[in-house]
Structure 1
Amino acid sequence: MQLLYMRLGTNDLSRSRAFYDATFGVLGLAPSMVEADPPFIMYDLPGGPKFAVGEARNGEPATYANGGTIMFSAESDEQVAAWHAAGLAHGGSCEGIPEPKPRANNAFGAYLRDPDGNKLCCYHGVSFG
């Protein structure tokens, strides 16, 4: 099995584009090339799934998943810190400062909420093997 696609909801696509273009840019991804119509943005994650952010298809306001977190990897502690700073500068909020995380065997990580409240984290040195 392989995860092919992941999508989060947003209530302000241009605000989300600025946030994700900035935070993913720090991690080495190009800005989203999807135009304003259809109403979503998409990124090709290296070696894996597509990551999309868009308006809810049912026309209702987008909400975040309570208890849900999406993790991204970084190549260094400094890249984690830069990811966190880019997120804060583009409408995100802090959910955990960049530092060694005891629950992750002291891997260096940071947590953000995107502008719509979706919880994200970025780690260097974490392993799931």
Structure 2
Amino acid sequence: MIGYVTVGTSDLPRACAFYDELFATIGAGRFMEEPDYFVAWARSQNECGLAVTIPFNKQAATVGNGTMVAVILDTPEAVRAFYNKALELGGSCEGKPGFRPENASSGFYAAYFRDLDGNKLNAFCMVPAE
């Protein structure tokens, strides 16, 4: 249903360096690009992607209160690796990897972080009951 999600940045080269490295860890690369304005990443052109853009109105990029982009991965190990890479690249923690609710042993496994511009992201997977 969703083709891609866009988040704003005030520093496109810095944001692109962050997402180039982060998304490389899950096999995603750039699939659309308009120089000095917009870049989008996905695993393929037929999958949902994430884009970073300088705001169209040329005002400072701001973070949407309550807005979050979720990246689906296959395993808890992949979630942890993605989250750790985001922090290594300068992102900040918004919730360490683990099950939600925290006392669960299956179901929704997630980690939350913010990118360099303060946009909130989540990496998650669904873990079946054993």
Give 1:99 shift: 1.4
Structure 2: stretches of 5+ with no match in the other structure: none
Give 1:90 shift: 1.3
Structure 1: stretches of 5+ with no match in the other structure: none
CA contact 1:94–1:112 (8 Å) conserved in 2: yes
2: CA distance, partners of 1:124 / 1:101: 11
**Structure 1 35/69 Cα, relative in aligned 2: closer, same or farther at 3 Å?**
closer
Give 1:57 shift: 1.2
Write the letter of the residue equivalent to 2:115. D
Q: Which aligned pairs between 1:4-43 and structure 2 lie closer than 5 A?
A: 4-30=3-29, 32=30, 37-43=35-41
CA contact 1:45–1:51 (8 Å) conserved in 2: no
Alignment correspondent of 2:93: 94
Write the letter of the residue equivalent to 1:86. K
2: CA distance, partners of 1:121 / 1:98: 10
Give 1:7 shift: 1.2
Write the letter of the residue equivalent to 1:111. Y
| Runs of 4+ off more than 4 Å | 33-36, 103-106
2: CA distance, partners of 1:121 / 1:6: 13
Looking at secondary structure, tell me which structure has more strand per residue. Answer: 2
TM-score w.r.t. the length of structure 2 is: 0.82
Alignment correspondent of 2:123: 122
Aligned residues: CA RMSD: 2.4
1: CA distance, partners of 2:76 / 2:4: 27
What's the CA shift string for 1:70-126, capped at 9, x where partnerless? 111111111111111111111211000111221786522100111111110011116
How many residue pairs match? The answer is 125
